[in-house]
Structure 1
C-alpha cells in the first residue's frame, strides 16, 4: 500500500523591515532589481510588488523600467574603481619591496638588524637586562 504523499509547498515570509530595506537598496541605486533577485534569492515579481507598496517614488500603475545603459554604466564605474584600487595595491607593493631592500642594506652594510630577531628571549619584566 502506497502512502499518500503530497508536495509540501514552501513559503517564505519576509518582515516589513526587510522589504523596506530591499526597496531602499533599489531606490539608492546601489543595486538593480536583477541584482537584488540574485543576491537575496527573491523573485523579481515580489521585489516589484514591494517597490510599488513601499517606495516613495514608484506607485502602482507606473511602470518601473530599468535602462540597460544604467547597468552598463554601473559596470563600467565598478571596473574603473577596481582598476584604480589595483593600481594603489601595486604602488603599495613597490613601497614594501623598497623598504625591505633598505632593511637588507642596513643589515649588510651597517650591521643594524631592524627586523625582529625571533631567537631573542622575551623578558619577564622582573629582572634588569644587562647592557652590552
Structure 2
C-alpha cells in the first residue's frame, strides 16, 4: 500500500455502500461528505452490494469470488485424493 493511501475499515466501507444503495446518497454526495474518491466508492459498491441469488438469499461479489476460490481448492484436493 502506498504511504499516503488511506485505509478504511470494512464497517466504514459497508456503511458507505449501504448509504448509496438506499438511494439517499449519490457518488458526488458521498465523495464530498466523507472525503472518499468516487472511483473508490464505486469499487466498494461493486464488491459489497448484495446480489439476489434466490428469494431469500443474497451474496456479494466479494463473497462469490471467495466461494469460487474455495470450490477450486476443493476440486483440486478431491482430484488428488482419487
| TM-based fold match above 0.5 | yes
Give the Cα–Cα distance (whole angstroms) in 2 for the partners of residues 35 and 56 of structure 1. Answer: 21
Q: Which residue number corresponds to residue 39 of structure 2?
A: 45
Give the Cα–Cα distance (whole angstroms) in 2 for the partners of residues 49 and 34 of structure 1. Answer: 14
Corresponding pairs, count? 52
Q: Which residue number corresponds to residue 18 of structure 1?
A: 12
Larger radius of gyration: 1
Give the Cα–Cα distance (whole angstroms) in 1 for the partners of residues 29 and 18 of structure 2. Answer: 14
Residues 19-55 of structure 1 deviation map (CA, whole Å, 9 limit, x = unaligned): 0000000001111011000101111000000000000
Give the Cα–Cα distance (whole angstroms) in 1 for the partners of residues 26 and 46 of structure 2. Answer: 15
Which structure is higher in strand share? 2
RMSD: 2.0
Residues 75-109 of structure 1 deviation map (CA, whole Å, 9 limit, x = unaligned): xxxxxxxxxxxxxxxxxxxxxxxxxxxxxxxxxxx
The partner residue of 1:55 within 27, 49, 52 is: 49
Structure 1 stretches of 4+ moved >4 Å: none
Which structure is higher in helix share? 2
Matches within 5 A, 1:98-109: none
Give the Cα–Cα distance (whole angstroms) in 2 for the partners of residues 21 and 10 of structure 1. Answer: 23
